[in-house]
Amino acid sequence: MRNAEVVAMLEETADLIEIAGENPFKARAYRRAAEAIAALQEPIEELVRTKRLHTVEGIGESIARDITEFLQRGTTTRLEQLRAKYPPQLRTLLEIQGVGPRTVAMLYDRLKITTVDELEAAAKAGKLAKLPGMGEQKIRNILESIQVWRRQQERVPIHIALSLAERIVAALQELPEVIAILPAGSLRRWKETVGDLDILVAARNTQPVMDKFTKLPEVQKVLAHGTTKSSVLMANNLQVDLRAVEPESFGAAAQYFTGSKAHNIALRNLALKHGLTVNEYGVFREATGEKVAGETEEGVYEALGLVWIPPELREDRGELEAALKGALPRLVTLDDIRGETHSHTRWSDGAATVEEMARAAMERGYEYIAITDHSPPMGWGVKPDDFRKLIREIRQVSDRLGFPVLAGIEVDIASDGSLHMDEDILRQLDLVIASVHSAMKMDMDAMTRRILKAMENPLVHIIGHPTGRLINQRPPYEVRVDALIEKARETGVALEINGSPERLDLNDEHARIARDAGVLLSIGTDAHRTEHLAFMRFGVAVARRAWCEPKDIVNTRPYTELREWLSARRR
């Protein structure tokens, strides 16, 4: 399956079109196509072979030609032409906030700058100041953004690491030598970003496993190639370590390499009290060296008098104490989720119709879905008159499919805390999410007041992505989350755990505080395409890291109970 390569080609083409200053609509078309292919479930080669490429939403004739050419030649004429004008490594400069495509072109044309290091050096040497539009403040901002960018290079968002890990596991699992395989480390704990990827295999004959691993098509550089450990660099500069252990030690290794460091230290201290030592090979009696556990992870915890602790809890945030008391939470699972609470359609900035979203929810085995398109003033927000039509369409689709489709909205919270939609429409809607999308640079008090006011509005059920952060892209706006949690407890408004892997907002720590305060949470994916409904697993992971049980999550409730909660807010 070459989908990821095609996506990379389309994104590079889009970036270079922008740097070259060509028609911005063309660049957008390439980006839309890249997004569509990233979401595809089947191999793109198969679509080309069966001449179905044009059935993919967002792929026009000329992009289809590029894709076909790329699959044959590994490049495209269009890309070659663009690369001849601007070297592809310039694209990295676009990742620096405040440096747009026009600036990149100017930096290259005037100063031949192609890398972030060169940009930084030129800024410090005062060379940028001579360029048009480069004031002192702008140069300071660029230098600051470079620092932020350097920090981000170290960790990649979980969804990218997870899909890479899944491809590696699928490839290695085919080998008969592999007895068991497991991605460990922070990925197994479902942390929102991953530093490097640790994969563990149980095998006796390890050479063929290591050989295949270091020759995987996505490997960009082999850092080490041994019989028990190999390390490679893959896309996004992600380092992947593969460790091979004997099956007798697999459980101990899984425990050890899953971490976290803090959890493992606490575990070792507990072991010492029992006269035991724990390492990646097993649990041993200190006095005699006798091995008492190691083959399974359950056995390792059991040897220490504990029940098995789910990886998401292994952060030394009270999980050992809870396990000793037999008081670990019964964590919410994907299976507990009965419906989607946050989704968009073509009426605003989504890619699918109401019916397509509803059918996709049915296919996932859900009992309901809420369609929550945007309000103005977002450029793509649905205007009041159209919203009335949208509500009618939702009711019709729901009747036709015999499947509950809730008429909802993601309404903008204005700077003064009022809602950007006519009240008579809000009253007709089954579910109202209120979110901040604009004027994010308010001071902390004003922003907190703004959201609290929306929470006091009895028409509001859920606060969407409560802190507004975008992982590795935008910090949260300034807001007192503890005040939101307190207000949620008081009013019964739910706070969202937005499951879009770019957002994961609330994050795990805030969600834990909310959960401990008895606040109701809603996990919504913010799906803008049918495939995005699958983001639910990321939202559930945040909830699990926050110790949430099914009762803490409003969309684990059956449809009738959800309706009761929704209408109770209105009374």
Q: How far is the CB of 433 from Zn ion (least distance, A)?
A: 7
Q: How far is the CB of 342 from Zn ion (least distance, A)?
A: 6
The stretch among 62-70, 409-417, 423-431, 533-541 that binds Zn ion (CB under 5 A) is 409-417
Q: How far is the CB of 436 from Zn ion (least distance, A)?
A: 8
Phi and psi (nearest 5°) for 245?
Answer: -130, 165
Residue 319 touches Zn ion, criterion: CB under 5 A: no
Task: Indicate the DSSP class of residue 203.
Answer: -
Contacts of 328 (CB under 8 A, 6+ apart): 307, 309, 310, 313, 319, 322
By C-beta, is 251 or 339 nearer to Zn ion? 339
Residue 410 touches Zn ion, criterion: CB under 5 A: yes
The stretch among 289-297, 438-446, 523-531, 562-570 that binds Zn ion (CB under 5 A) is 523-531
Phi and psi (nearest 5°) for 405?
Answer: -115, 115
Phi and psi (nearest 5°) for 271?
Answer: -60, -40
The stretch among 97-105, 410-418, 443-451, 546-554 that binds Zn ion (CB under 5 A) is 410-418
Contacts of 263 (CB under 8 A, 6+ apart): 314, 315, 316, 319, 320
373, 526, 530, 536: which one contacts Zn ion (CB under 5 A)?
526
Give the dihedral sign, CA 200/206/208/211.
Answer: positive
Q: How many positions of this chain bind Zn ion (CB under 5 A)?
A: 3
Strands of the sheet containing 368-374, edge to edge, are 339-340, 368-374, 405-412, 431-435, 462-463, 494-498, 521-524
Q: How far is the CB of 374 from Zn ion (least distance, A)?
A: 7
| Residue whose C-alpha is closest to residue 184's, from 105, 274, 97, 264 | 264
Residue span 133-172 as binding mask against Zn ion, x where in contact by CB under 5 A, dash where not: ----------------------------------------
Q: How far is the CB of 399 from Zn ion (least distance, A)?
A: 25
Contact present, 381 and 422 (Cβ < 8 Å):
no
Residue 341 touches Zn ion, criterion: CB under 5 A: no
* 342 half-sphere exposure, CB direction, 13 A CA radius: 30
Contact present, 254 and 274 (Cβ < 8 Å):
no
Pairing of strands 291-293, 193-194: unpaired
The stretch among 101-109, 321-329, 354-362, 402-410 that binds Zn ion (CB under 5 A) is 402-410
Q: How far is the CB of 112 from Zn ion (least distance, A)?
A: 41
Q: How far is the CB of 434 from Zn ion (least distance, A)?
A: 10
According to DSSP, the residues that pair with 278 across neighbouring strands are 283
The stretch among 131-139, 232-240, 467-475, 521-529 that binds Zn ion (CB under 5 A) is 521-529
Q: How far is the CB of 343 from Zn ion (least distance, A)?
A: 8
The stretch among 286-294, 471-479, 522-530, 560-568 that binds Zn ion (CB under 5 A) is 522-530
Contact present, 283 and 277 (Cβ < 8 Å):
yes
Residues from 422 through 461 that contact Zn ion (CB under 5 A): 435
Q: How far is the CB of 462 from Zn ion (least distance, A)?
A: 11
Cα 541 to Cα 332: distance, rounded to the nearest angstrom: 9
Q: Interface residues with Zn ion (CB under 5 A)? A: 410, 435, 526
